């Protein structure tokens, strides 16, 4: 039993992403590539990119699976692209024709941090008498 727990803990420790630190500066109209290296103990390598500007919540941009599949949000599909390279364990985000509104913090993640499915973000806690105890958001 202890060995099994250790394997799970070791797997959790090795699942991570590494993005280069610091700001990236580019001129409007140019293209820029943001790096993301990852380590995953899972054979189901799925990576996600998010954009967060100001005090807004992170916004899903795209996801990529190791077999080349993935999704891109409609508003980002023209200028944002990424390819997952499972050999290099890399999933860089390329932004073309930069616009001022692209100034933001960009996150790479191994888990779907923000899904856009608000129905899963709300949960009611019920009392035994079937009245709502709390709304959790």
Q: Report the candidate in 102, 98, 97, 48 with the shortest Cα–Cα distance to residue 73.
A: 48
Residue 84 resides in a domain: yes
Residue 90 resides in a domain: yes
| 89: Cβ contacts below 8 Å, ≥ 6 apart | 37, 38, 39, 40
Residue 21 resides in a domain: yes
Range 58-65 average pLDDT:
92
pLDDT of residue 78 exceeding 50, the answer is yes
φ, ψ of residue 73 in degrees (nearest 5):
-65, 140
pLDDT of residue 137 exceeding 60, the answer is no
pLDDT of residue 134: 42
If one counts the domains in the chain, the total is 1
Model-level pTM greater than 0.75? Answer: no
123: confidence class by pLDDT, cuts 50, 70, 90: very low
Residue 118 resides in a domain: no
């Amino acid at each position: 039993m202890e060995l099994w727990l250790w394997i799970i803990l070791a797997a959790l420790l090795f699942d991570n992403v590494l993005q280069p630190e610091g700001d990236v500066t580019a001129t409007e109209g140019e293209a820029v590539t943001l790096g993301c290296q990852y380590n995953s103990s899972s054979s189901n390598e799925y990576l996600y990119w998010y954009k967060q500007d100001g005090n807004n919540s992170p916004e899903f941009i795209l996801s990529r699976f190791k077999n080349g599949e993935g999704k891109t949000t409609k508003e980002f599909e023209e200028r944002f692209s990424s390819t997952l390279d499972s050999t290099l364990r890399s999933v860089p985000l390329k932004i073309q024709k930069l616009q001022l509104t692209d100034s933001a913090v960009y996150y790479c993640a191994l888990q779907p941090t923000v899904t856009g499915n608000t129905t899963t973000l709300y949960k009611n806690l019920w009392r035994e008498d079937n009245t709502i105890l709390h709304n959790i958001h």
